[in-house]
Structure 1
Amino acid sequence: MENSLKKNHSHFSVRDICFIALLTAACVVGRTSFQFIPNVQPITTIFIMVSLNKGFGRGFLLAVLTIITTNIYMGMGPWTMTQLFAYGTIVLLSSLLGRIPSFQRHKSLQLIFAFGAGFLFGFLTACGDVLIYGISAFWPYYLQGVYFDLLHATGNFIFYLLLMSILPRLFSKFWCN
């Protein structure tokens, strides 16, 4: 009975917690290192890869820890909630796509998704901003930021190309299932 409960109950091992802490540190360094280029940072790519390979729980925990930690340094405000909402959605979609074998096998589909996630992030944060700040004209507000979404999408694509052969191997070597 106890083994069946452990099997069905998702929990984090000490090894999981250590690896999430290391990835959080890497994400914090990655986001702050690239802050001079608007919307270009490796964190979206890392969140996607963790969620594809290790599921929603680990991906979302990593996203929350990264956003809270970096926003303490870069500035905390109402936008933190919109960032968490947008990244939570991307992590959820990534973990669902990770259950599809053909998506797991085809790196080109993952690259397209990573690119699209840049635009999805911008759209979702704009939706949140409209609600939080009471902006009455959504589309003009959103369209002003599409250039930054393109930068985010392009950065995601490049970081995915750079990390797609490295991170999954690290996950399988050092991270418990």
Structure 2
Amino acid sequence: MQENKKKSIFTTQEIAYLALVTAACVVGRLLFQFIPNIQPMTAIFILITTYLGISRGLVVNILSVLITNIYLGMGIWTIGQITGFSIIILLVGVLNKWSVFHHHLFLQVGYSFLAGFIYGLVLAVIDTKIYGLSNFWAYYLGGISFDFLHAVGNSGFYLVLTPVFKRLFEKQVKRKQEL
């Protein structure tokens, strides 16, 4: 009698790997918490999505935000944070379909800069609905300086982390192909 085995989306080894990437996000966010909107999570989400795909980026996103918010404060804003990062990840997935994006660091750094503003826009839309704020533009423009800091931080972290994570992710892709 043949056993009916269902194939999992993630292997045990890959789950451990994603846990380590999540840990890097958590430690990075907590380490830089004293600087407003400057943390490596967005850059790591973009990197993991670029090299390992949308589903892995979303898993790391959700786990990283939930774990860091246990330390920094959990609230209704957690929904906006997960949504904002998820939109950034989904857009990377779309951009990855063009090989020119996947193979040019300059375009990836540009997107990581733009992601700071995308994240701020998504959060402003969600926050104005959740908190019943009447003037979206006043709220959004009031936070644009924080979005700029997020954008600059994303670009810097992306440049610094790309060589390390690219090498790690390429090893993971090779292992996956060998299986």
Say which of 9, 20, 37 aligns to 1:22. 20
Which ranges in structure 2 are unaligned for 5 or more consecutive residues? 1-5
- The structure-2 alpha-carbon separation of the partners of 1:135 and 1:114, relative to structure 1 and needing over 3 Å to count, comes to same
Say which of 32, 35, 41 aligns to 1:34. 32
> What secondary structure does 1:164 align onto?
helix
1:161 aligns with 2:159: yes
> 1:125, 1:131 → 2: CA distance?
10
1:84 aligns with 2:61: no
Cα deviations across residues 80-133 of structure 1 (Å, max 9, x unaligned)? 000011011001111221221111111100010000000000010010001110
> What secondary structure does 1:86 align onto?
helix
State the shift of 1:165 in Å: 1.4
Amino acid at match of 1:116: L
Cα deviations across residues 7-55 of structure 1 (Å, max 9, x unaligned)? xx77101111001100111110000000000000000000001111111
> 2:8, 2:167 → 1: CA distance?
22
**Any runs of at least 4 consecutive aligned residues in structure 1 with deviations exceeding 2 A, and if so which?**
174-177
State the shift of 1:148 in Å: 0.3
Amino acid at match of 1:169: R
Partner residue of 2:106? 108
> 1:160, 1:103 → 2: CA distance?
14
Aligned length: 170
Q: 1:95-174 counterparts in 2 under 5 A?
A: 95-174=93-172
> 1:145, 1:125 → 2: CA distance?
10
> What secondary structure does 1:95 align onto?
helix
Identity of matched residues, %: 47
TM (norm. structure 2) is 0.92
What is the CA RMSD across the aligned residues, in angstroms?
1.3
> What secondary structure does 1:80 align onto?
helix
1:51 aligns with 2:85: no
Amino acid at match of 1:105: H
